Structure 1
Amino acid sequence: MVVPVFNEQEVLPLFAARLRPVLDRLGMSYEVLTVDDGSRDATAAVLEAMRGSWPQLRVVRLRRNSGHQNALTAGLHRSRGQYVVSIDVDLQDPPEVIAEMLRLAEAENLDVVHGVRSDRSSDSAFKRGTAGLYYRLIRRVVGAAVPPNAGDFRLLSRTAVNGLVDLPEHLPVYRLLVPWLGLPSGEVAYVREKRAAGRSKYPLAKMIRLALDSVTGFSAAPLRVATWLGCAGIALCAVLALGGTAAYVRGDVVPGWTSIVLAVVFLGALQLLCLGLLGEYVARIFTTLQGRPAYVVASDSGSAAAPVREYATSGR
């Protein structure tokens, strides 16, 4: 199990109380690798207290908040199981589904089993609407291989995990990277529950950032949009020029600054939009060339020989 955690002191005991019986009933060895993503509350203390009574619990602490996807990367890179299940700690994704995922993977020899939300009525109308828009956009831009309403609750085989670790991704979006691998996959539907405690760690700003990373990381479509907008702007200017010439020939020239101002504003906005889209790709190139680590490991309770400080770059 790989479980990213950030400021979740309230929900951790509830999460453990539901997850542990599920894993104990599987009848196989397991490890719960929690990645503390630079929490500023009592999350670290709660995890250490839980380790005393739960020997399968492993705690990896990051020195600073690196983001959900990078915390997930840290967990995948340090995981050791034949199968790896990633799940959030908020209990919106029910741990009871894990057994069904494992059965499906073994019965059909699958490398990936996606948890697909069949019912999101527990989410707000705004969250459901924005999520639906996100998946429609991604499936349109990236391809139909992306399962709709599948987040980061999934089962991966060791083959799939190794494939992800080998990818040179600096800004990973696993809900798109995993389907990109093209491995045999299946789906398990479940009803999304309400958050058990605490507050959501994915506000609107992070949702927008995820959508932007998803599009710019997996498609050049925005660059093509900029090109087509530029072509449309040129065509519009040509039409206006022809209309102005015809008006001049007829002697029907009415001085008007409104049309001029609108044209200048329109073209200026078009240029800024195109520059912004280009800037997103330049920013990704800049981040990659910097080569800075995506996360910094402070400690790992799973290995006595683990260094006190470890740097790791996503996908390497």
Structure 2
Amino acid sequence: MSPDPRPALSVVVPAFDEAEVLPVFAARLRPVLDGLAASGLEGYEVLVVDDGSTDATPVLLARLRRQWPQLRVVRLRTNSGHQAALSAGLARARGRDGVVTMDADLQDPPELLPRLLEAAAAGHDVVYAVREDRSVDSVLKRVTAAGFYRLVRTLGGRAREQAGDFRFTSRVVVDTVLGLPEAHRVLRLVVPELGFASATVGYARQARGAGRTKYPLTRMLRLSLDAITGSSTAPLRLATFFGLGGALLTSLLLLYALVSFTFGQTVPGWTSTLAVVAGVGTLQLLCLGVLGEYVGRLYVQAQNRPTYLVASDSLEERDQTRT
């Protein structure tokens, strides 16, 4: 039987307009992986998913590839988003033992990889890198992140608190995720829901290596909505509870109005009427908004459009050149 040509480990890195930080990122990641290879890791690949960058990222990646044989570049036709880029990387990763996903901004330190693999070797299919120290983040970032994880747990989700997309997943976990029918996966919630044996490795979140964040508040809100509606039906039940509560309140007000009318105590006024109408209207709009989020996801799923389109893969280009 011929040996498996696939590398043991794939490192998937989504990148969008990261020209400023890529040289520093490569300079820190390569020694770590080369050290692991020298210690017995049977081959690795670094799969950078260029998420439709408009700066010099493609040029820098091409330059790095000439110096780093294990570097592989998958370029998407358009900017499809962070989670779509991660899914594209998982779909093309060849690591036979597992895949590590991480960002290129160096807030997730590459030097943590040996500890992730060590925990995986102890028999865990998923190893989460957990941010124990987020002092480099702004107060708003820390507060909103804590609120997000608390909300997900309240709604019944199984998200690992303070664990982003820096994790190790075994080959069986990767194949299971790729087999899921949902299009817009939020992997930091999907992976915990699968229930595989897991472990955590704590670290201090570092400052960005260079450049600026690609996750402004609007994208964070969009990710939060996708995560919540994609992992829990609790908001639908919340809309039902609001409806029942509104019906109960309306019944009590009607009873009060009938009793007041019977005893001749009715006083015309617009304040109470306005308050009731505004309150009920607000509940109705909120419930419609929640329902709309789920209907929208069903609509997008029914369209079955791809979440990303691959423009090129340096591995395929290399194979074609050889033939």
Please tell me the TM-score bracket, short chain as reference.
Answer: over 0.9
Give the secondary structure class of the aligned counterpart of 1:31.
strand
Counterpart residue identity of residue 115, structure 1: A
- Counterparts of 1:301-312 in structure 2, within 5 Å, are 301-304=314-317
Map of 1:92 onto structure 2: 107
What letter matches 1:25 in structure 2? G
Which residue matches 1:252? Answer: 265
Report the 3-state secondary structure (helix = DSSP H, G, I; strand = E; otherwise coil) of the residue aligned with 1:247. Answer: helix
Q: Structure 1 residues 305, 43: CA separation in 2 closer, same or farther (over 3 Å shift)? A: closer
Supply the RMSD in Å over aligned alpha carbons.
1.3
The alignment partner of 2:127 has SS state of strand
Structure 2 equivalent of residue 313 of structure 1: none
Selected match of 1:6 from 16, 39, 59: 16
**Distance apart, 1:239 and its partner CA:** 1.4
SS in structure 2 opposite 1:303? helix
State the SS of the aligned residue for 1:52.
Answer: helix
Relative to structure 1, the CA distance from residue 305 to residue 58 in structure 2 (aligned partners, 3 Å threshold; closer, same or farther) is closer
Deviations 1:132-176 (A, max 9, x none): 000101112134x42110000000111111111111121101111
2:230 alignment counterpart: 217
State which of 41, 49, 74 in structure 1 corresponds to 2:63.
49
Deviates more, 1:37-46 or 1:266-275: 266-275
Structure 1 residues 264-292: Cα deviation after superposition (integer angstroms, max 9, x where no partner)? 22222211111111111111110011011
Range moving further from structure 2, 53-62 or 267-276: 267-276
| Pairing of 1:160-179 with structure 2 (within 5 A) | 160-179=173-192
Aligned to 1:102: 117
- What does 1:274-289 correspond to in 2, within 5 Å? 274-289=287-302
Tell me what 1:271 maps to.
284
**Structure 2 residue identity aligned to 1:86:** T
* DSSP 3-state at the match of 1:26: helix
| Corresponding residue for residue 250 of structure 2 | 237
Report the alpha carbon displacement of residue 305 of structure 1 after superposing the two structures with TM: 7.6
Per-residue deviation, residues 184-224 of structure 1 (Å, max 9, x unmatched):
11110000001111111111111111111111111111111
Instruction: Quote how far apart the aligned CAs of 1:306 are.
Output: 7.9
Summarize deviations over 1:50-75 as a string: whole Å, max 9, x none.
11111111000000000000000000
Q: Shift of the alpha carbon at 1:44?
A: 0.7
Match of 2:202 in 1: 189
Deviates more, 1:296-305 or 1:120-129: 296-305
* Counterpart for residue 129 of structure 1: 143
Q: Does 1:20 align with 2:35?
A: no
Instruction: Report what 1:30 is aligned to.
Output: 44
Match of 1:66 in 2: 80
Give the TM-score taking structure 2 as reference length: 0.92
Q: In 1, Cα distance between the equivalents of 2:51 and 2:317?
A: 20
TM-score, length-normalised on structure 1? Answer: 0.94
8 Å Cα contact 1:58/1:302 also seen in 2: yes
Determine whether 1:80 maps to 2:80. Answer: no
Tell me: CA distance 1:306–1:222, structure 2 relative to 1, closer, same or farther (3 Å).
Answer: farther
- Identity across the alignment (%): 55
**Contact 1:102–1:155 (8 Å) recurs in 2:** yes
